[in-house]
Chains A and B, each alone.
Chain A
C-alpha cells in the first residue's frame, strides 16, 4: 500500500469533520475517538478505492457510518448512549458540505457579535481545552455557574445561527 500525499492531506484535513460526524451519532467522546481511529485505518486500507478530486468527506462519512454500526453491534448496550431506534433517527440527517460551511460561517459571525467577556469564556473551554473546574478557577466562579453560562452561550449561538439562516431563506 502506498498512500499519496494528496490522500494524507485529505485524511488529515477531514479529521475534525469526521470526528463531528461520529460524535453526534455516538454522543460519547471516548467512543467517538475509538471509532474514528478504526475509520482512519479503514480509509487508509481502502485508499485505492478513493478517486482524488471526488468528495472525500462523503466517502469518509459512508465508511464511518458502517463502522459506527459495526462498533455498536460489538458493544454492550449499557455502554452506548443511544438506543438503536434513536441512533437511526439521528442518522437520518445527511452530512451536507454546503450547509455545514454555511452554518460555520454564520456561527463565526454570531461568535464575533458576542461580548469580549463571553468570547473569552468560550475560548477557555474550546481554545484552551479547560475543564469546568479549571474554568471556574480561572474566572473565580463556581463550577455550577460556569456550566450554566457555557450552556446559555451555546444556546444563544444556536438561536443566532438559526435566525440568520431564516433571514437568509426569507
Chain B
C-alpha cells in the first residue's frame, strides 16, 4: 500500500465522517467528488462507511416516519375532491396526496359505510412517544401523524413520555400526556371520557345548550368555554380551572358545584365537594411508595425482607409498523402533581434525585414531563446517563441537575413553541427508561430537592 494511497484513504474517511455528521463544507464536497471520481477503490470505501452509519441508525435509532407525513397530511383532501390526477407530476401531486389521504382514512380510520360520509371532527396538532389510537370501528393504529384528521375514537399514551394534542374543528384544543386514556366525539356536542390519567383543554365558547361534557368514573363536568385540566384516579377526579368556569357534578350523589378560574375541586366520595383556591406551587417533592401505587407507571412491589417498596419497569414493545425489529422500551414514571398536593416547579438550583437498582450496566434516560401554569403541555426534558454510572446488581443513587436536561429530540418539530429550559414550569411526571434491553430497572424513590437558597 503506497503512502499516497494511504493519504487519500484517510482523507476520505475524514470527509465521510463529516458527511454523516452533516458538517460537510463546500471545499469538502469538492474534494469528496474528486477522490470518488479518481480512485476506484474509494467507491467501496464510501459504501462501507455508509453501511456502518445506516446500520447504526437501523439498530439503535428510533425509526423516523416524518417523511410519511405527506401521505397522511389531510389538508389537500379538503381542497381536492375529484381524484383524477393528470398533467405534470407537480400538478398531480396535490391530487395524488388527496387520493392517498382518502385511501388511508378508509384504511386507518375505518368508520363503516355511513361514517365515510361524515366529516372529520378534529385533527392531530402534536404528538410524541408511543401512542395507541382506536377508531370508531375498533381499528387499532400505532402510527399517527401530525395533521391527520380524526373522526372520533380513543387515544392512549403508552409510556410516561407520550404526548398527544388534538384540535377540534372549532379550534378547541385537548391534550393528554403520559399514561392516559381519553375518548372523544363530537356529534354536535363534544364529549370526552377520561378513563385514566390526565388531560388539559382550552375550549372555545360552545353552542348554546350544548356544553362540552367530560366524563370520568366519579364525575361529570360541563364546559361552556374555558381552560382547565382533569386528573382522574379510580375513586376521585381533580378538576382545576384556569380560566372561565366549569360545572362539576359528583356522580355518586348528584351534587354539583361551579368551579371558577384558579380554583379546583376534588370529586371523591369521602370529602366535601367544595371548590378551593389552587394552592401556591412548591419546589420540593418526594415519592412515598410505602403508601402504595398512585398515579405511577410501573409494577408496584411492597416492602419485603428488608427491601424498600419499589416500582419495577414496565415493558412496551414497539409495534411492527413502527419498528420492524419490535424492540422494547422499559419505563417507570411517577405522577407529581396529585390531588391533595400543590403543583411542583423546578428552579435553576433544583435537583432531581433517583434511587433504584439495575441488574446490568446500561445507559439510562431520565426525564421530566412539564406543564405550563395553565396546564398546557410544555415538553419533555431529559438527560442520558451513561452505563458506567451503574454497577450491575447494585443500588444506584443519582442526583441530577435539571440544567443539564435537554428537550426530547422527538419534540424537535415543536421546539420553537416549547420552553428552552425546564424551570418555572409545573412538573407533571418524573420518569426514566432503558431502550431495547431489559436491565431489571427498579426505582425505590424519586425526589425533587429544593434550591438551597429558598429554604423551602
Contact = CB atoms under 8 A, between A and B. Distances in A.
Interface of A: 1-5, 8-9, 11-13, 15-17, 19-20, 23-24, 27-29, 33, 36-37, 40-41, 44-45, 70, 81-83, 85-86, 89-90, 92-93, 100, 103-104, 107-108, 111, 116-117, 119-130, 132, 134, 137-139, 147, 150-151, 154-155, 157-158, 161-162
Contacts of A150: 17, 21
A134 B381 CA distance: 13
Contacts of A70: 89
A160 to B, nearest CB: 9
Nearest to A2: B103
Interface stretch (B28-36, B128-136, B441-449): B28-36
Contact of B19 (A27, A89, A104, A111): A27
B60 A126 contact: yes
Contacts of A155: 13, 49
B384 A138 contact: yes
A4 B57 CA distance: 28
A158 to B, nearest CB: 5
Contact of A151 (B17, B51, B71, B386): B17
Interface string B32-53: 1100110000010011111111
Contacts of B62: 127, 129
Given A120-B387, A126-B57, A158-B48, A132 B107 contact: no
A3 to B, nearest CB: 5
Interface stretch (B227-235, B236-244, B257-265, B320-328): B320-328
Given A40-B70, A111-B59, A154-B56, 5 more contacts: A3-B104, A41-B100, A83-B37, A151-B17, A161-B52
Contacts of A8: 104, 107-108, 321
B70 A123 contact: no
Given A19-B67, A154-B53, A13 B21 contact: no
Interface residues of B, number: 73
Contacts, number: 201
Contact of B387 (A19, A119, A147): A119
B8 to A, nearest CB: 15
B59 A104 contact: yes
22 contacts: A1-B100, A11-B68, A12-B68, A13-B320, A24-B47, A41-B96, A41-B97, A44-B99, A45-B99, A81-B19, A90-B47, A100-B51, A107-B51, A107-B52, A107-B56, A120-B363, A122-B56, A126-B56, A126-B57, A147-B17, A154-B53, A161-B51
B61 interface: yes
A161 B48 contact: yes
Contact of B435 (A13, A127, A132): A127
Shortest Cβ-Cβ A-B pairs, 5 listed: A151-B17, A129-B409, A126-B60, A20-B54, A107-B55
A59 B215 CA distance: 49
Given A1-B83, A1-B100, A41-B100, A154 B52 contact: yes
Contacts of A151: 13-14, 17
